[in-house]
């Protein structure tokens, strides 16, 4: 049985045209499917409007209590319900979830040493409550995951959406042939900074070469590395971009 896991980030969530196109094509997929979404500009805008300063450590966000509250409100509240309602209006039996619900993605708060990133959750694919998710899928439901989890004490935690997508893929690959799709507003990955067409496929060797040449940079690096790890751990295939370049 085939399962498609789609991850969309802020650049899709924030662009209504890209988002509508994605949701249309997501609904056309007739196989079992899961949507994992990240954040978007709304969380940052809300923090600014509420005068909550953004705390960073080497460019990475620190989630203090006020930031956690905003993250939960925006991700698990506004974005999750907006996406679920949009899918419902297209006849898709979407079910908005987070790792908290049914405690389906147990997390642990990241150690404060060497750097205290605050209320950030780390997850382990082996701990995911696979039967719970499988039952939803077999009922014909379409889980829509916000990147929020909690630990055993009930502490809510902000969790990386790319990691949730790849962890779900790893946890479910025993039961399904899993394809993992990282969707973003670019067509895919380009072989050089001025190539007109994205690559149809990217090998690990090509990735390393493009990274060392500075063509692949920034946020794409952890994304592709998470994807490559998922591939080597047995996820059937992984694509990135709107057209779905195969890794």
Shortest distance in whole angstroms from residue 133 CB to a second copy:
12
Q: Shortest Cβ distance from residue 84 to a second copy (Å)? A: 5
87 or 202: whose CB is closer to a second copy? 87
CB of residue 9 to a second copy, shortest distance in Å = 19
Near a second copy by CB under 8 A: residue from 3, 8, 35, 94: 94
User: What is the per-residue burial (b if ≥16 Cβ within 10 Å, else e) of 7-46?
Assistant: bbbbbbbeeeebbeebbeebbeeeebbbbbbbbbebbbeb
Q: Does 49 interact with a second copy (rule: CB under 8 A)?
A: yes
Rule CB under 8 A: say whether 78 interacts with a second copy: yes
Q: Is 224 in the site for a second copy (CB under 8 A)?
A: no
As measured in angstroms, the least distance from the Cβ of 4 to a second copy is: 19
Assess 175 for contact with a second copy (CB under 8 A): no
Min dist CB 130 to a second copy, Å, is 14
Q: Verify binding: residue 162, a second copy, rule CB under 8 A.
A: no
Q: Which of 2, 54, 57, 135 binds a second copy (CB under 8 A)?
A: 135
Which residue ranges make up the site for a second copy (CB under 8 A)?
A: 46, 49-50, 69, 72-78, 80-82, 84-90, 93-98, 100-103, 135, 139, 141, 148, 150, 152-156
């Amino acid at each position: 049985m085939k399962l498609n896991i789609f991850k969309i980030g802020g650049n899709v969530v924030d662009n209504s045209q890209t988002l509508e196109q994605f949701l249309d094509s997501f609904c056309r997929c007739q196989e079992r499917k899961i949507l994992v979404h990240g954040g978007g500009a709304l969380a940052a805008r809300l923090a600014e409007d509420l005068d909550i300063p953004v705390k960073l450590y080497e460019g990475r966000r620190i989630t203090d209590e006020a930031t956690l509250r905003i993250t939960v409100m925006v991700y698990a509240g506004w974005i999750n319900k907006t996406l679920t309602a949009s899918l419902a209006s297209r006849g898709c039996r979407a079910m908005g979830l987070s790792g908290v619900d049914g405690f389906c993605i147990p997390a642990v708060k990241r150690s404060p040493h060497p750097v205290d990133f605050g209320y950030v959750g780390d997850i382990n694919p082996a701990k995911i409550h696979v039967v719970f998710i499988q039952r939803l899928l077999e009922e014909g439901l379409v889980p829509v995951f916000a990147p929020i989890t909690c630990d055993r004490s009930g502490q809510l935690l902000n969790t990386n959406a790319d990691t949730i997508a790849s962890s779900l893929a790893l946890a479910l690959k025993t039961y399904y042939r899993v394809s993992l799709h990282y969707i973003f507003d670019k067509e895919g990955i380009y072989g050089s900074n001025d190539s007109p067409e994205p690559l149809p496929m990217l090998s690990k060797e090509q990735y390393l070469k493009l990274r060392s040449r500075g063509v692949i940079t920034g946020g794409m690096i952890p994304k592709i590395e998470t994807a490559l790890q998922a591939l080597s751990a047995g996820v059937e295939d992984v694509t990135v971009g709107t057209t779905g370049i195969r890794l």
